[in-house]
Amino acid sequence: MNAHGFLHPGRFSVRLMLQQRIESDDGHGGFTGAWQDIEAVWAGIVPVEGIVTRQADNTQTAITHWIYVRQRGDVLPGMRLAKAGRIFDIETVLDPDETGRYQVLKCVERS
């Protein structure tokens, strides 16, 4: 489905939690990281590609998704979206029709 056909508000039917990684001093000269919830957002998810990698006895899968959200000024690559144990790492953020109404997030879900 092309971006223009997807940019209808009724298609934003999935509730995801936008998260940002925060690091804090661990008291021993290093840092610890944790994910902090920013805000819940309504989104539309379109799976794009599945990738399987194998190394020795280890198999990993990743699925690339286009996730559509309403325009936000605070979404950046390196953040993530979460829903019921699923994690979507945000790799890129773009404005598909350059109107400032919506953003398309290229995300990877790994298992």
Rounded to whole angstroms, the Cα distance separating 11 from 108 reads 20
Global pTM value: 0.81
Task: Please give the single-letter amino acid code of residue 44.
Answer: G
What's the pLDDT at 9? 63
Q: How confident is the model at residue 7 (pLDDT cuts 50, 70, 90)?
A: low
Give 105's strand partners.
67, 93
What's the pLDDT at 90? 98
Check whether 3 has a pLDDT greater than 70.
no
What's the pLDDT at 26? 79
56 Rama class: left (phi>0) / alpha (psi -120 to 50) / beta: left
Query: What is the third-level CATH fold of 3-110?
Result: Thrombin, subunit H (2.40.10)
